[in-house]
Amino acid sequence: MTGLRAASLGVPFEPVPGFRDTDLPRTADLRTVQDPWTGEEIYVVPALRPRWAVLHVQEADAAGNARIFGSPGYDLLMAQAADHVILTAERIVPTEELARRPELTRIADLTVAAVVEAPGGARPGDCSGCYGVDEAGIRRYLDAARTPEGLRSYLESVP
């Protein structure tokens, strides 16, 4: 999360509290810098700047402006950190409809490269206000993915 935030701000790394006396700095290649005011060493996380942020939203217009209902999670940060955004949306709505409530627009079209109309596109996960977690769908995936053949037929049968 911190790495995405650093990328969203255009800085090469960001300091994080904690990590002392754990193995995480070694496994994640975290390094320290010196606080220029106090001289204390602090761990920093490198910026994570993906080429693509792929986000599923409830509503988007054809230009790539989007509304997210319920918790946005890290999606807004991801949209700012990545070079380009790909949206899948429960509904594609007219721009005029979004313009009636501009404060609800969370993703701006500027860096959006593609918009896909994908009702049910978060299944077997949930989509706030549209459907809940499909528990049978999760179990079906887990069963299928035990073998390569199972996964292959799962991918062929679940859009």
Partner 1 sequence: VIPALRGRPRPRGGNARGGGRPSPAAGRPTGAYHVPVETAGGRGPAAKVVPLAAAAALVADGDHITVGGVMLHRIPAAFVRELARQGRRGLRLSKPSPSYDLDLLSAAGCLAEVDAGVASLESAFGGALPNYRRAVEAGLLRVREFS
Site for partner 1 in 71-100 (CB under 8 A): 71, 73-75, 78, 81-84, 86, 88, 92
Segment lying near partner 1 (by CB under 8 A), choices 7-15, 33-41, 96-104: 7-15
Residue number with CB closer to partner 1 (41 or 70): 70
The whole-angstrom separation of Cα 69 and Cα 60 is 12
Task: Please report, as a single letter, which amino acid is at residue 2.
Answer: T
**What are the CA-CA distances from residue 31 to residues 15, 43, 46, 95, 150 (Å)?**
10, 6, 9, 46, 42
Residue number with CB closer to partner 1 (28 or 35): 28
Site for partner 1 in 102-131 (CB under 8 A): 109-118, 120-128
Nearest approach in angstroms of CB 99 to partner 1 is 14
Here the tokens at position 122 are: 């978060």
Between strands 52-60 and 84-92, the pairing is parallel
Nearest approach in angstroms of CB 23 to partner 1 is 9
Our finding on whether 70 is near partner 1 (CB under 8 A) is yes
The whole-angstrom separation of Cα 81 and Cα 52 is 9
Here the tokens at position 50 are: 């993906």
For residue 100, the surrounding DSSP H or E stretch is helix 95-100
Site for partner 1 in 130-149 (CB under 8 A): 133, 135, 138-139, 141-142, 145-146, 148-149
Nearest approach in angstroms of CB 2 to partner 1 is 7
